[in-house]
């Protein structure tokens, strides 16, 4: 039997959480910028470019969470027939998913994200190209979001809507914002939350 202790589990969870939060920050700082640069070769409207990337991020988290939920049900059904401890069945399920993340069909999630983006009325692409050009970014976000569901508690992105009141505990303003405006015109990047509390601020543009 494997030796196990709650303290060891908490330490491992905290280490994975730190790595995943850092990864979220890197995607925001570098891979989001790379995606912006790519899209600007097709789209001159910077607002549309940023709306597209924000939508890709939110939809990636949604698709990954749905995939995780389905995968977790499958693993629980598989393990409940043979599980005998020492940890709880739920802990065993979580351990299995963490160790077998390669079984996550991320390509199916990428397709689901692109499908959702294609029917989103707030974003559009020139007819000669497709949202598939963002597949690399979407795949990275889906893998990250899936791994974040294995944390206790899981991490998620905050829900945001155009026209919401600007909240400085939740967002940074983009440099091209009207810093006297009280409302969000559109979102550039989602905030990361844990149990409803913002742990990494998102980015928005505020305008009058």
pLDDT-based confidence at residue 92 (cuts at 50, 70, 90): confident
195 in any annotated domain: no
Please give the residue range of the domain that contains residue 59.
6-153
Residue 130: CB atoms within 10 A of its CB come to 13
Q: Which two tokens stand for residue 13?
A: 């969870």
Share above pLDDT 70 across residues of the chain, in percent, rounded to a whole number: 91
142 in any annotated domain: yes
Transcribe the chain into DSSP letters.
-----HHHHHHHHHHHHHHHHHHHHHIIIIIHHHHHHHHHTT---HHHHHHHHHHHHHHHHHHHHHHHHHHHHHHHHHHTTT---SS-HHHHHHHHHHHTGGGS-HHHHHHHHHHHHHT-TT----TT--GGGGHHHHHHHHHHHHHHTTSSS-EEEPP--TTPBP-TTTEEEPTTS-TT--BEEEEEEPPEEETTEEEE-EEEEE--
pLDDT in tens, 142-158: 999 999 999 989 999 99
Calculate mean pLDDT across residues 171-187: 95
179 in any annotated domain: no
pLDDT at 32: 97
162 in any annotated domain: no
187 in any annotated domain: no
pLDDT at 3: 45
* 83 or 179, which is more confident: 179
Q: How many domains does the chain have?
A: 1
pLDDT at 191: 98
Smallest CA-to-CA distance from 135 within 112, 155, 156 is with 112
Residue 56 contacts residue 113 (beta carbons within 8 Å): yes
Calculate mean pLDDT across residues 74-101: 74
131 in any annotated domain: yes
pLDDT in tens, 33-86: 999 999 999 999 999 999 999 999 999 999 999 999 999 888 777 777 776 666
206 in any annotated domain: no
pLDDT-based confidence at residue 2 (cuts at 50, 70, 90): very low
Angle at 7 between CA 6 and CA 11, to 5 degrees: 115
82 in any annotated domain: yes
């Amino acid at each position: 039997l494997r030796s196990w202790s709650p303290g060891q589990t908490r330490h491992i969870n905290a280490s994975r959480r730190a790595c995943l939060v850092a990864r979220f920050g890197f995607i925001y700082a570098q891979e989001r910028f790379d995606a912006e640069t790519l899209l600007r070769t097709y789209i001159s409207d910077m607002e549309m470019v940023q709306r597209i990337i924000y939508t890709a991020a939110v939809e990636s988290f949604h698709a990954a969470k749905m995939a995780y939920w389905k995968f977790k049900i499958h693993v629980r059904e598989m393990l409940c027939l043979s599980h005998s401890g020492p940890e709880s069945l739920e802990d065993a399920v979580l351990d299995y998913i963490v160790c077998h993340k390669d079984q996550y069909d991320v390509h199916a999630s990428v397709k689901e994200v692109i499908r959702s983006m294609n029917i989103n009325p707030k974003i559009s692409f020139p007819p000669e190209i497709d949202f598939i050009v963002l597949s690399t970014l979407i795949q990275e976000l889906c893998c990250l979001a899936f791994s974040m569901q294995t944390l206790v508690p899981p991490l998620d992105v905050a829900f945001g809507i155009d026209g919401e009141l600007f909240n400085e505990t939740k967002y940074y303003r983009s440099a091209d914002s009207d810093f006297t405006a009280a409302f969000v015109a559109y979102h550039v990047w989602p905030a990361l939350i844990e149990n409803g509390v913002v742990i990494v601020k998102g980015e928005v543009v505020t305008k009058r």
